[in-house]
């Protein structure tokens, strides 16, 4: 199967999202992604309907829909509406997100997030394939029926080996974030394969969520990354991942070495080459996340989209 290189859309509004998805399709990019954060912006799943209606081919994915604020039956119903409007074009990524945001924004009682993820995957998969579910678990009770269920590609976020194993066992792909490339190759890929082997199924792809920027000024790229990528090391799960990746210094701030392993930058040719190397190393797909220069946001988007399109042509 050929590899795919898609792009993360960072929109300022619903109309901006639709415009950028159209721009991505016109650039030759096969997949546009977006993150559904806490409670700070418009709901992207709602905007997907407009984006699908104004495009023809591009697939659109969530990376990710947080599980805690939405019941899995509701997520499945939203996915069905979009699948009916644009068959085969929705890529539904779900995940537990981060404890601080989920507890602060929604007041959830965070516990056993991998169990919760398993239950959500089970319910959503049943509804989108069989059209019915009768499930009672530790986190979820779901009894529902959907008329004429449409198949949906079901993905999940992963950070540590156990979550990558769950993805190997139950999903159509694992979506990473903030994971240095060396960690993905050394830890994530074997974990996905272990989970798939236990379930007796084909190993699903790793969708490597990679910050990128077309710029030869590595110092400026690092500075921008430190501002835009946030202090994930303050979240215990991320800090543990950084330690496992060989960058314990992340507790005191992102080091140059860690950023050079995490962020892909350089000339367009260098960005394309690095993304291609990640595919050759085993990543089944790249989700390129553009770092945006505040002084030239449109130019940052345009250069990133062009690099992503070229990379997809090269690896596809």
Residue-wise pLDDT tens for the chain (316 aa)?
Answer: 578 999 999 998 999 999 999 999 999 999 999 987 654 577 889 999 999 999 999 999 999 999 999 999 999 999 999 999 999 999 999 999 888 788 888 898 889 999 999 999 999 999 999 999 999 999 999 999 999 999 999 999 999 999 999 999 999 999 999 999 999 999 999 999 999 999 999 999 999 999 999 999 999 999 999 999 988 999 999 999 999 999 999 999 999 999 999 999 999 999 999 999 999 999 999 999 999 999 999 999 999 999 999 999 999 7
pLDDT at 103: 87
DSSP secondary structure code for residue 249 in this structure: G
| Token pair recorded at residue 155 | 């993905």
Q: Tokens for 11?
A: 């929109």
What residue ranges define each of the domains in the chain, with the CATH number in brackets?
4-315 (3.20.20.30)
- CA atoms in the 13 A half-sphere facing the CB of 76: 28
- Identify the pLDDT of residue 37: 60
Judged by DSSP in three states, 289 sits in strand
Q: What is the pTM of this model?
A: 0.95
- Cα 44 to Cα 17: distance, rounded to the nearest angstrom: 8
Q: How large is the angle between the packed helices 161-170 and 113-129, nearest 10 degrees? A: 20
**DSSP assignment, residue 12?**
S
Neighbours of 143 (CB within 10 A): 11
Measured distance CA(173)–CA(157) in Å, rounded:
9
| DSSP-assigned states of every residue in 63-119 | S-EESTTS-HHHHHHHHHHHHHHSTT-EEEEEE---HHHHHHHH------HHHHHHH
Residue 1, pLDDT score: 52
CA atoms within a 13 Å half-sphere pointing along the CA-CB vector of 64: 25
């Amino acid at each position: 199967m050929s590899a795919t290189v898609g792009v993360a859309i960072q929109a300022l509004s619903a109309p901006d999202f639709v415009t950028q998805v159209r721009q991505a399709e016109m650039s030759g990019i096969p997949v546009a992604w977006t993150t559904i954060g806490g409670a700070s912006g418009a709901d992207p799943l709602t905007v997907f309907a407009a984006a699908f209606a104004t495009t023809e081919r591009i697939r659109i994915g969530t990376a990710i829909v947080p599980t805690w604020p939405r019941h899995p039956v509701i997520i499945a119903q939203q996915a069905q509406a979009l699948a009916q409007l644009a068959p085969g074009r929705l890529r539904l990524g779900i995940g537990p997100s981060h404890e601080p945001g989920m507890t602060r924004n929604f007041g959830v009682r965070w516990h056993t997030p991998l169990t919760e993820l398993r239950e959500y995957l089970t319910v959503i998969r049943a509804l989108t394939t069989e059209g019915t579910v009768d499930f009672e678990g530790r986190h979820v009770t779901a009894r529902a029926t959907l008329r004429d269920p449409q198949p949906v590609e079901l993905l999940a976020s992963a950070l540590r080996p156990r979550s990558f194993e769950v993805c190997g066992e139950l999903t159509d792909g694992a979506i990473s974030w903030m994971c240095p490339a060396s960690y993905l190759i050394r830890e994530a890929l074997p974990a996905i394969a272990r989970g798939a082997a236990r379930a007796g199924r084909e190993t699903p792809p790793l969708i490597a969520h990679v910050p990128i920027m077309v710029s030869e000024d590595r110092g400026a790229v690092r500075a921008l990354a430190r501002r835009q990528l946030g202090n994930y090391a303050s979240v215990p799960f991320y800090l543990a991942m950084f330690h496992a990746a060989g960058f314990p210094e992340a507790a005191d701030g992102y080091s140059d070495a860690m950023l050079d392993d995490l962020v892909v930058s350089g000339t367009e040719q260098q960005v394309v080459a690095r993304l291609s190397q990640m595919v050759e190393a085993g990543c089944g797909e790249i989700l390129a996340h553009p770092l945006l220069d505040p002084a030239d946001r449109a130019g940052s988007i345009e250069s990133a989209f062009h690099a992503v399109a070229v990379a997809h042509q090269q690896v596809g």
